[in-house]
């Protein structure tokens, strides 16, 4: 039996992983649950892990795997999703589920660091779970190059799945095209007529640019870890 706060946190983590392909940060969890400090989130995370609902993967930032959901939250299509880190042995009682896969084109590399050239042509196809590409719009994949998004659970060499779209909400992780020649993967925020492209690594500065110099090319909807 979970407490109300434990249930709220588990549901928030699930929703953010379904939406963005990566789990929320501790600050985002704290804000969503209206808690005063991150220590409360640590206690809730520990309680969920002790009860077998989630697993934290060692030595990785924001590394959470959802193992199961309470009956009230379960969906017939739910499958545990690893978002971070090397996969340890599957715990006893975890049952693998066969899921449909679809192919999407891999368009080259995307910078999570110093911007590189704009998205390249299709290099090959990659099979991804159908749940990652559900909904409207075209999808494509990019290979991540750099470490500026590591605290969002996105590592150098990972493959990100992108839904093609030209708009974004504040907080979305997007493919942004800067001045029509630099492509980068960053968190998007708009304020007035300016766009902030935020890294998830303190070693990188936030880029703030006039709205006309940034074009959204797509939104992150999934991530495939390359081991």
pTM value is 0.55
Cα–Cα distance for residue pair 15/78, rounded to 1 Å: 12
Tokens of 200: 């998830």
* Residue segments in the chain with a per-residue pLDDT below the cut of 70: 1, 57-62, 71-101, 113-122, 134-136, 226-227
Catalytic residues: 148, 186
Q: Supply the DSSP string of 116-180, one letter for each residue.
A: EESP----EEEEEEGGGG-SSS-EEEEEEESSTTGGGT--TT-EEEEE--S---TT-EEEEEETT
Domains 4-66 and 101-224 agree in fold:
no
Q: Please give the share of the chain, as a percent, with pLDDT higher than 70.
A: 76
- Nearest partner of 61 among 41, 45, 84, 79, judged by Cα: 84
Instruction: Check if CATH label 3.30.420.10 holds for domain 101-224.
Output: no
Reduced to 3 states, what is the DSSP secondary structure of residue 42? Answer: helix
Residue spans per domain, the chain? 4-66, 101-224
At 11-55, the pLDDT tens digits run 888 888 877 777 888 888 888 888 888 888 888 888 888 888 888
Q: What topology does CATH give the domain 4-66? A: Arc Repressor Mutant, subunit A (1.10.10)
């Amino acid at each position: 039996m979970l407490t109300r706060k434990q249930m709220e946190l588990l549901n928030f983590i699930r929703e953010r992983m379904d939406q963005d392909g990566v789990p929320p940060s501790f600050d985002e969890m704290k804000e969503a649950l209206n808690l005063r400090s991150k220590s409360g989130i640590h206690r809730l995370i520990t309680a969920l892990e002790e009860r077998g609902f989630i697993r934290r993967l060692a030595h990785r930032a924001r590394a959470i795997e959802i193992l199961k959901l309470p009956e009230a939250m379960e969906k017939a299509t739910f499958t545990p999703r690893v978002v971070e880190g090397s996969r340890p042995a599957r715990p006893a009682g975890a049952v693998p589920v066969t899921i449909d896969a679809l192919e999407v084109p891999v368009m080259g590399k995307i910078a999570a660091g110093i911007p590189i050239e704009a998205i390249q042509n299709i290099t090959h196809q990659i099979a991804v779970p159908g749940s990652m590409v559900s909904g409207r719009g075209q999808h494509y994949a990019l290979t991540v190059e750099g470490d500026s998004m590591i605290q969002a659970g996105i590592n150098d060499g990972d493959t990100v799945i992108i839904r093609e779209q030209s708009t974004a909400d504040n907080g979305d992780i997007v493919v942004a095209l800067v001045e029509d020649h630099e492509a980068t993967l960053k968190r998007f925020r708009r304020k007035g007529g300016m766009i902030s492209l935020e890294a998830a690594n303190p070693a990188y500065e936030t880029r703030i640019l006039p709205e006309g110099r940034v074009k959204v090319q797509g939104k992150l909807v999934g991530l495939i870890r390359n081991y």
